Amino acid sequence: MARQSDTGFSRRQFLRQAALGGVLLCGWNMAAAAQLRGLRVGRHGQGVRLVFDLNRRLTAAPVIRSVGEVLHIELPGIQHWLGRPVVPALGPLQGGAEMNESAAGVVLRLPLREAVRWHSFSLGPGGGASHRLVLDLLPVAGTAVESSRSHPVAGAGRPIVVCLDPGHGGHDPGAIGARGTREKDVVLDVALSLARLIRSTPGMRLVMSRDTDRYVPLMDRMHLGLAQRADLFVSIHADAFPERTVSGSTVWALSQTGATSAAARWLARTQNAADPLLGDVQSGVHDLMLNEVLINMTQTAAMNAAAAAADMMIRGLAGVEDLHNAAVQHANFVVLRAPDVPSMLVETAFISNPQEEQRLRDPAFRQLLARTMHDAVLAHFVNAPPADSAWSATRHVLGKAENLADVADRYGLSVEALRLANNLPHGEGQPGVHLRVPIMGA
């Protein structure tokens, strides 16, 4: 996938010139900042409901992820917030909370006494209330802390559906390296290796947009995830840049506003232009239903799940490949637009970089990429198993005579997947530590 060079006319220069031309970027950011005026917590069904009172709608979807026994809720664009919110011990909440500033806004950390799944949506002013962000937390059955002698029991339910989308294909070779390596061939090989790993994982079902060298229109790829009710859609690519020294992996998610930078807009246009049938869909002007879907995506759990899965993928790739961007990037890729399908696009490495092209030509490296991506997918579903799926999660207390390899083998994971799921550093865990582990349905 080609991208404009960071040298010469860089993103920074573009933004500087845009500002000089009258695009008041700083003013826009200030205007977009929101205030958190209150936080209300109460029972809701089997779980709890948190209501964040805001002076205006958030500029982007909240990012929610579970790290160990703490739920992290990042609220983007918040400029002013509560000093220390009062959160009672209620349902899955242990009680107490911590709120700190982050680069994007603020992060609320909630201690948990059991694993949860979540759903969030936004409400506008009405009935005397201001803008609100509503977050429902529901306990996941079978996730109470258990002893190290507990045994996983296969759950009943549907398999988790993972949709793999190897980019390009057929008459569209994608980016081509200096040695003639074609993106379409590299990403298909990685996807086929990843497919074999997913097929061997209990409680998972695989769907592929292509498993041979054929061209699939972008809208067909997107609709496949919708039609198959995928729990995760992963589009696999190899990056390219006019500047050959640029390297590293990048993970992209959909931006509900189109793109987060000029380079992202350019990249989305060039990628989407691979399909000559898109026309109005690219501009988003004439497809009113699609525009409404993109707006409403901020009110669904799909955006939360996509952000969490993409973050997990970045952390996994960081262990085997330099990162071109250490945070999830956003652009309006057509293949990521399916509503209610958490979707990401993974740029494995730069095929335009001679060193990385050589690595991509190496079957062992492609296998490593596939294993790493599989670890990230498993780790994501350890943290967020779909409620109606054959998967659930539990806690395993690391015994004195155990190591991480013992635990990983027992629950059908690799050690790296176990580390990712629990955000563990390298080295052995301490006895008594609580590890989040999966119960995989057959």
**pTM summary value:** 0.60
pLDDT at 15: 34
pLDDT at 18: 35
pLDDT at 98: 84
DSSP notation for 193-261: HHHHHHHTSTTEEEEES-SSS----HHHHHHHHHHTT-SEEEEEEEE--SSTT---BEEEEE-TTSBSS
Quick one: DSSP state of residue 353? S
CA 366/CA 361 separation, integer angstroms: 8
Identify the helix (H) or strand (E) that includes residue 146.
strand 145-146
Domain boundaries, the chain: 27-139, 158-383
Bridge partners, residue 132, by sequence: 53, 123
CA 380/CA 263 separation, integer angstroms: 28
Do 202 and 412 contact (CB within 8 A), yes or no?
A: yes
| Neighbour-count burial for 60-80, b at 16+ CB within 10 Å, e otherwise | bbbbbbbebbebbbbbbbbee
Quick one: DSSP state of residue 335? G
DSSP notation for 300-329: SHHHHHHHHHHHHHHHHHTTTS-BS-SS-E
pLDDT at 33: 65
Position 387, amino acid = A
Of 236, 136, 129, give the one whose Cα is nearest residue 192: 236
CA 368/CA 194 separation, integer angstroms: 10
Do 50 and 119 contact (CB within 8 A), yes or no?
A: no
Q: What is the CATH number of domain 158-383?
A: 3.40.630.40
Residues in the chain where the model's pLDDT stays below 70 = 1-33, 68, 81-84, 127, 141-156, 255-301, 441-442
CA 145/CA 150 separation, integer angstroms: 10
27-139: CATH topology is Immunoglobulin-like (2.60.40)
81-92 pLDDT per residue, tens = 666 677 888 888
